[in-house]
Amino acid sequence: MLSPSAQKVQNALNQFGVTLHVVELPASTRTAVEAAAAVGCTVGQIAKSLIFKSQSGKAVLVIASGPNRVNEKQIGERLGEPIGKADADFVRAQTGFVIGGVPPVGHANPLETFVDEDLLQYEVIWAAAGTPNAVFELTPDVLVKIAPGHVISVK
């Protein structure tokens, strides 16, 4: 049985008509490095969901490959306004999830989304699923389907 937050992600995934399964692990998956170790993949295969706050107060989701550092200036230029890091309260209010467990789907509010093109090189990737120890496996094609947004270089 999944925790309530992980179940919320599983329910969201089910609505897309794809067969994806949330798993809760005994080890932490809060960081990309921890997640990769827990599931046995490379750090690059971790699709980390990062929330930024635009100057006008809009939530922006960047789904980045694990080792990549997001170029906030570049994302801001694509968005048409500067972005900055969001605090924990903003992330929770906009997504319904805590930092370290933010999934690419199932958010409390619609989010402007950018997907890291580096994720497309992998056959399989892993994403957070609502808690700091819940994840699910998917393909990059499915990610782009369930988290539609701009596929760009985020570095």
Q: Where are the domains of the chain?
A: 4-152
How far apart CA 41 and CA 113 sit, in angstroms, is 25
Q: Which pLDDT does position 151 carry in this prediction?
A: 97
Asked whether the beta carbons of 75 and 52 are under 8 A apart, the reply is yes
What does the mean pLDDT of the chain come to? 97
Q: Which pLDDT does position 4 carry in this prediction?
A: 97
Dihedral sign, CA of 38, 8, 121, 82?
negative
Angle at 31 between CA 25 and CA 36, to 5 degrees: 60
The CATH architecture assigned to 4-152 reads Alpha-Beta Complex (3.90)
CA distances from 123 to 35, 39, 42, 45, 92 (A): 17, 15, 12, 9, 31
Residue 79: pLDDT band with limits 50, 70, 90: very high
Residue 152: pLDDT band with limits 50, 70, 90: very high
> What's the pTM value of the predicted model, to 2 decimals?
0.96
